[in-house]
């Protein structure tokens, strides 16, 4: 993500400091006259800051309203007192769209950290698109101040840099390259404008136990290319319980897209490294290069999340899934039914076309179906799910060359729905139809943010063990 949104009404570090100033346990009881926080002695301010540090100074968050960042920007005196304590700056959150957070301020914070930074976040608080050259200049100036201190003690655990342009992510990679970061576990270099397909320069970054990666698909392919060199640190990379999420990569007309074959080769390499949780998000593939010559790493995956991905690439990944795998499809468009697959759990989210829902579940043989915010999963769709497929094909627009005489989702026993997309009456019809067939009974039904229930519907829900219904408020 490239911006952060904070809930209104959340108490900031400044609010908590104002409360702390009125706490008599933190100031001398002999003071009878009202005083301002700006005139408090340094020792008292440090006591108050220590109090705030205990509250939220250890939170692993990029929220700039947390301590010490908003306090440091109140006045120069607070800033200078805060810079006396290196422990306050172990988590560094730098908002690129804050006019107050200049390179010189970042230099002060970096000096104050004494090289003890564990978690570094660089981001926009809001979705900002500035000129590409202006972003390069600003980010480069910030990173020149913070990186020499952040990497000096080799204790960085998190590096998260969210910018607008991929070319800026590549620039950030140049600052990182050749660093030795044995404690690094989380690396996120994310952008949403693919203005270049140039390779990211991380070939000499040593981070032997890096486990959680957020990079665009082109940069993941670049990492894979580095691994072929025996001298590269990536050749001996040993992640622990790793997770991969791709950042957006939808290149402009003059920037090459990613080859699906090469990307799959990179995923196979990652799966061999132990990556069992794959989040494939918003990738623009080269439509003219769709030949799949490498078997995808489906058999080694525990969790597969596909978001804003074309159906052809999804289909390639489902052919060898284990029965215990969980699959999530978010806003995916399917031109044809997915192949037969036995993922234990299938989650569909944000899918608005009933044809896409049908194509996703037609040959699915798992047990738990999860529907989140899919308005097309309505009463009409549920009524047709209750029919045999031969009748289903005859009576609906969802026609297919195959007409299996069986229910859709024949092994489904659990159904979880979020959103008021269907009625209790339609669900009762589905449950009753399944109950007539041995082994097809729906055992668990959960609806969250459903429509309001009348007395009869509520009684039916309560009469069935394993059924729950939460009304939308």
pLDDT tens, residue by residue, 271-319? 888 888 999 999 988 866 555 556 677 667 889 999 998 877 888 777 7
Element (H, E) at 21: helix 13-21
Domain boundary among 110, 141, 172: 141
Residue 345 has which token pair?
């759990």
CATH of the domain at 420: 3.80.10
How big is the CA angle at 201 (ends 263 and 233), to the nearest 5 degrees?
Answer: 80
Beta-carbon contacts of 465 under 8 Å, excluding residues fewer than 6 positions away, are none
* 231 assigned to some structural domain: no
Quickly list H helices, 22-99: 42-56, 69-72, 76-82
DSSP code of residue 446: E
Whether the pTM exceeds 0.85: the reply is no
Q: Is residue 467 part of a domain?
A: yes
Nearest alpha carbon to residue 193 among 172, 214, 167: 167
CA distances, 59 to each of 45, 110, 123, 377, 461 (Å): 21, 19, 17, 39, 41
Task: Please give the tally of structural domains in the chain.
Answer: 2
What is the three-state SS of 152-181? CCCCCCEEEEECCEHHHHHHHHHHHCCCEC
Q: How far apart are CA 376 and CA 356, in angstroms?
A: 9
Which own/partner contact pairs does 309-314 have at CB distance under 8 Å and 24+ positions apart?
309/280, 309/281, 309/282, 309/283, 310/285, 310/335, 311/335, 311/336, 311/338, 311/359, 313/260, 313/280, 313/283, 313/285, 314/338
Pairing of strands 467-471, 444-450: parallel
For 214, phi then psi, to 5°, come to -125, 105
Q: How many helices (H) and strands (E) does the chain have?
A: 15, 14
Distance separating alpha carbons of residues 278 and 245, to the nearest angstrom: 6
Highest-pLDDT range among 30-44, 48-62, 260-274: 260-274
Cβ neighbours for 86, distance < 8 A, ≥ 6 positions apart: 112, 113, 114, 116
**pLDDT digits over 91-137, tens only?**
888 999 888 888 999 999 988 988 888 899 999 988 777 899 999 99
Cβ within 8 Å of residue 223, ≥6 positions away: 200, 202, 215, 234, 266
For the chain, how many residues are written? Answer: 473
DSSP label of 363:
T
State the Cα–Cα distance between residues 360 and 315, nearest whole angstrom. 10
Task: At 218, list the tokens.
Answer: 């082109």
Establish if 221 belongs to a structural domain. no
DSSP 185: -
Task: Reply yes or no on whether the pLDDT at 30 is more than 60.
Answer: no
H-type alpha helices, 345-454: 354-361, 379-385, 389-395, 424-435
* Domain range for 1: 1-118+131-141
β-pairing verdict for 414-418 and 444-450: parallel
DSSP secondary structure code for residue 346 in this structure = E
Query: Comparing 2-11, 117-126, 206-215, 360-369, which segment has the lowest mean pLDDT?
Result: 2-11
Kindly state the tokens that stand for 432. Answer: 């009753």
- Specify the 3-state DSSP secondary structure of 219: helix
Q: Say if 53 falls within a structural domain.
A: yes
In a domain, 228, yes or no: no
DSSP result, 82-93: HTT-GGGGSEEE
At 219-265, the pLDDT tens digits run 999 999 988 776 778 877 888 889 999 999 999 878 988 988 889 88
> Is residue 94 one of the residues assigned to a domain?
yes
* Residue 224 within a domain: no
- Between 105-109, 281-285, 385-389, 455-459, the lowest mean confidence (pLDDT) is in 385-389
pLDDT at residue 34 greater than cutoff 80 = no
Residue 212 lies inside a defined structural domain of this protein? no
């Amino acid at each position: 993500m490239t911006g952060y949104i904070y809930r209104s009404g959340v108490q900031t570090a400044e609010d908590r400091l104002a409360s702390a100033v009125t706490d008599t346990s933190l100031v001398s009881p002999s003071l009878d006259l009202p005083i301002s926080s700006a005139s408090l002695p340094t020792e008292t301010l440090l006591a108050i800051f220590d109090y705030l540090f205990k509250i939220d100074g250890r939170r692993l968050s990029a929220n700039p309203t947390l301590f010490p960042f908003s306090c440091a920007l109140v006045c120069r005196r607070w800033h200078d007192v805060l810079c006396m304590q290196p422990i306050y700056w172990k988590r560094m959150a730098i908002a690129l769209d804050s006019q107050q957070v200049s390179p010189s301020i970042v230099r002060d914070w970096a000096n104050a950290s004494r090289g003890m930074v564990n978690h570094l976040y660089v981001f926009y608080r809001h979705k900002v698109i500035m000129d590409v050259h202006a972003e390069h200049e600003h980010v480069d100036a910030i990173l020149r101040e913070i990186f020499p201190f952040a990497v000096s003690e080799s204790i960085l655990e998190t590096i998260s840099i969210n910018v607008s342009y991929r070319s800026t992510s590549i620039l950030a990679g140049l600052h990182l390259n050749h660093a030795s970061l044995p404690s690094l576990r989380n690396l996120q270099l994310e952008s949403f404008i693919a203005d270049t397909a140039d390779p990211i320069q991380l070939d000499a970054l040593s981070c032997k136990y890096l486990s959680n990666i957020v990079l665009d698909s082109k940069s993941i392919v670049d990492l894979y290319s580095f691994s072929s060199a025996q001298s590269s640190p990536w050749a001996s990379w040993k992640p622990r319980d790793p997770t991969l999420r791709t950042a957006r990569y939808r290149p402009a007309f003059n920037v090459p897209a990613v080859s699906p074959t090469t990307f799959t080769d990179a995923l196979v390499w990652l799966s061999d490294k132990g990556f069992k949780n794959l989040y494939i998000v918003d990738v623009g593939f080269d439509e003219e290069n769709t030949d799949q010559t490498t078997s995808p790493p489906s058999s080694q995956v525990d969790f597969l999340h596909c978001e804003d991905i074309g159906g052809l690439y999804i289909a390639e990944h489902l052919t060898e899934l284990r029965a215990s795998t969980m699959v999530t499809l978010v806003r995916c468009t399917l031109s044809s039914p997915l192949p037969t697959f036995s993922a234990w759990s299938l989650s569909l989210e944000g899918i608005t076309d009933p044809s896409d829902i049908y194509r996703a579940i037609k040959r699915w043989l798992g047990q738990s179906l999860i529907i989140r915010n899919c308005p097309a999963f309505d009463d009409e769709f549920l009524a047709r799910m209750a029919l045999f497929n031969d009748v289903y094909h005859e009576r609906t627009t969802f026609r297919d060359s195959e007409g299996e005489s069986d229910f859709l989702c024949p092994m489904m026993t659990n159904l979880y729905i979020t959103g008021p997309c269907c009625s209790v009456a339609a669900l009762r019809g589905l449950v009753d139809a399944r109950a007539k067939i041995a082994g097809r009974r729906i055992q668990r039904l959960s609806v969250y943010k459903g429509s309001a229930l009348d007395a009869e519907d509520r009684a039916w829900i309560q009469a069935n063990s394993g059924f729950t219904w939460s009304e939308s408020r």
